[in-house]
């Protein structure tokens, strides 16, 4: 666990470069507010720098799990009253239960195979109170395939440049190749590289698995609309009966 993780080198600029495009956050906050009560216990899986959890700070009991110590270091600074645990979201046992668990911004896709997705659903089930809610999203296989056929695309956060390329490795595995050129001074740049693997599966396969563990409350695409074969990101809200 102490070994360097894909996200450790990205952690110092994650919020300003990658996290700022987090379209999941708005949907998460809109959905979560319907289920939270004073004193609710909230757990985020793959909490990263705790940008999502920080919205709930001082109102609820917050816990975040992440595998990257670099990301957790920032999370702990951001929410001193939160509990942050370095663990694998597909294999954890916190020995406590929560009212709301969420896992967003395609964090589930970071798991290496479908067995790990199932294992995550099982861990969530074990950690939810009866009637507890799980909110998660995932990149569709359709989206990952489209991205892997597209050109490398640049972004320009301030004076820095980010080059993103999604490369297909196998039918269900894609590598996000990240090259971040951080301006040191004038024309001098430091290159920070990382490769982040994402797995993707047919939407029906995912939803059928989810239904084995939870009752569905809502499923929508990235703009709160009905899911179609061309949806890019799927949002699910489910309940443990
Ligand atoms: C795309 S970031 C999302 C971070 C945060 N949820 C957000 O919305 O900004 C994915 C996060 O998942 C973490 N992660 C990836 N695989 C993981 C695993 N198997 N167990 C725990 N965390 C993991 C990464 O370290 C990273 O912080």
Per-residue pLDDT at 1 exceeds 80: no
- Identify the pLDDT of residue 26: 87
From residue 33, how far is each of 27, 30, 58, 89, 106 by CA, in Å?
A: 10, 6, 15, 23, 21
* pLDDT tens-digit series, residues 134-184: 999 999 999 999 999 998 877 777 778 889 999 999 999 999 999 999 888
CA pair distance 220, 121, nearest whole angstrom: 19
CA pair distance 172, 139, nearest whole angstrom: 12
Pocket of ligand 1 (CB under 6 A): 5, 7, 19, 22, 24, 46-48, 51-52, 65-68, 71, 88-90, 104-105, 107, 110-111
Percent residues over pLDDT 90 in the chain: 81
Distance from residue 45's CA to the centre of ligand 1 (Å): 7
Per-residue pLDDT at 3 exceeds 70: no
* pLDDT tens-digit series, residues 21-69: 888 888 898 899 999 999 999 999 999 999 999 999 989 999 999 999 9
* pLDDT tens-digit series, residues 178-234: 999 988 888 899 999 999 999 999 999 999 999 999 999 999 998 889 999 999 999
- Identify the pLDDT of residue 225: 92
SS3 106: coil
Distance from residue 88's CA to the centre of ligand 1 (Å): 10
Let me know: does 168 contact 150? Beta carbons within 8 Å.
no
- 150 burial via Cβ count (<10 Å: 0-12, 13-18, 19+): exposed
Q: Whose CA is nearest to atom 25 of ligand 1?
A: 68
Q: Among positive and negative, which fits the CA dihedral 1, 61, 95, 92?
A: negative
């Amino acid at each position: 666990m102490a070994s360097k993780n894909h996200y450790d080198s990205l952690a110092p600029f994650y919020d300003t470069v990658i996290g700022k495009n987090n379209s999941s956050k708005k949907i998460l906050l809109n959905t979560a507010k319907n289920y939270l009560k004073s004193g609710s216990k909230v757990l985020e899986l793959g909490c990263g720098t705790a940008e999502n959890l920080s919205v709930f700070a001082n109102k609820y009991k917050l816990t975040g799990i992440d595998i990257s110590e670099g990301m957790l270091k920032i999370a702990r600074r951001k929410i001193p009253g939160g509990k942050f645990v370095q663990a694998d979201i597909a294999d954890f046992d916190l020995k406590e239960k929560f009212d709301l668990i969420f896992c967003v911004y395609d964090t589930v896709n970071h798991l290496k195979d479908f067995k790990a997705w199932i294992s995550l659903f099982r861990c969530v089930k074990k950690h939810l109170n009866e009637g507890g809610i799980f909110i998660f999203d995932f990149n569709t296989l359709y989206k990952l395939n489209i991205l892997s056929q597209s050109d490398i695309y640049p972004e320009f956060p301030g004076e820095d440049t980010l080059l993103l390329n999604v490369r297909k490795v196998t039918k269900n595995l894609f590598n996000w190749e990240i090259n971040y050129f951080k301006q040191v001074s004038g024309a001098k740049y430091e290159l920070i590289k990382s490769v982040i693997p994402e797995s993707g599966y047919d939407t029906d396969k995912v939803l059928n698995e989810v239904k084995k563990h939870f009752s569905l409350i809502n499923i929508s695409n990235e703009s709160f609309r009905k899911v179609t074969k061309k949806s890019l990101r799927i949002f699910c809200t489910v309940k443990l009966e």
